[in-house]
Structure 1
Amino acid sequence: MSAEFDQLVAEFERFQSRLRNVDDRAAGLDGMRAELSTLEATATSPDRGVTVVAGPGGAVLDVRFTEDALRQSPQALSAALMSTLRQAVGEAARRQVGIVEEHMGDDLGLTDQVLEAQAELFGTSVEELRSRMAEENPAAPAPAEDFSEQSFVRRAEEPPPAAPPPAQPGSAGDTFLRKLFDEEDH
């Protein structure tokens, strides 16, 4: 009877641990949303005449022109604006993926996907964009081991976690916990 009770207590503790883990992840997602909602990337043209501020999802939040910029030909102003727009939106996308990976992990290779797409679009190399990204987002010191920062997204080739060893059937408490765990896994 004592072994069965100990096993029930252990299963209940694992269940509580899973609940805490879900709560921690939800808190992390709230933090990620907050960071993303305040994300801004600013780019300025080489002649300092055009400034563009971009936000999450590539949204253009502001465009500013100097008096000198407005004296340019329409074609030159258009070229400066488009180039500066691309820079701001590209930087915003790189920062956005950095925030997502900081909270969710790099299991999906999002940074590589964004950098490859931008390299092709901007006619530059992935290495150049990666170095820009490092300049834009200097690495923070690594925190103490904190498992709440680990990704909960499994790759397709990873096997599912092993099921707990089967308990000796018989008690109503054991049946209840087994059903509870089965529902949570689905």
Structure 2
Amino acid sequence: MSAEFERLLAQFERFQSKIKKVDDQLANVERMQSEIAELEATASNADRSITIVAGPGGAIKDIQLTDKALSQQPQALSAALMSTIQEAVAEAARKQAAIVDDHMGGQLNVTDQVLETQAQLFGTSPQELRERMEQERPIRQTPLRPEEEYHEDYSHQDFLGSDQEQQSPPPPPAPSGGSAGDEFLQNLFNNDDHR
């Protein structure tokens, strides 16, 4: 093999590696979106006469009232409904934050931010909310797949991300009139590296 062919092959393999990385990132985002779409949080009042089911973004998916709930005075029923709705929405927010942190490797600390805010709103401590969250969290039935064990923080990278450690510096230009393929790949990688 000629040196030019080996260099072109190495550049092509780096390009394929970047495409695979983008595919993996998109697959992870799709899994996260799927988990968030299926999210449900259920809260009931103390006597279980009111049950609220909240979904992603705090959307109310279901309200269940027993005869006991309906026998209350309007103001008492309204207060119990509001309190139970707030609990269901808060639980949904905690679950959603946990899903985001799971898929982003905890880099964003969304869960901590949600717990701090909710602790202030509900007059409790973030630790108490964290304990409640651990009790609510289902036990994962299957072990993590290797691609789920580590998630890189992509927030400060361009979409194709350039791994400086993995990339070697671009080869020097060919001394005299390289091939059209060589010129195309050189321009592709030079443009990508300078974004």
Paired positions, count: 183
- Identical-pair percentage: 51
The unaligned stretches of length 5 or more in structure 1 are none
- Confirm or deny: 8 A CA contact 1:167 1:174 kept in the other structure: no
> Map of 1:1-186 to 2, 5 A cutoff?
2-138=2-138, 140=140, 143=144, 145-146=146-147, 150-154=151-155, 161-162=163-164, 164-170=168-174, 171-172=178-179, 173-184=181-192, 186=195
- Give me the TM-score of the superposition, normalised by structure 2: 0.81
Q: Distance in 2 between matches of 1:39 and 1:147?
A: 19
- 4+ runs deviating over 4 angstroms: none
Output the TM-score relative to the length of structure 1. Answer: 0.85
Amino acid at match of 1:16: Q
> Which segments of 5 or more consecutive residues in structure 2 lack a partner in the other structure?
none
Render the CA deviation track for 1:75-119: whole Å, top value 9, x for unaligned.
221221111111100111111112222223322211111111111
State the one-letter code of the partner of 2:98.
G
Aligned residue type for 1:111: T
Residue deviations 1:34-77 (CA, integer Å, cap 9, x gap): 22222111111111011001011111111111101111122221
Give the structure, 1 or 2, with the largest relative contact order (CA under 8 Å, sep 6 or more).
Answer: 1
CA contact (8 A) 2:39 2:96 kept: yes
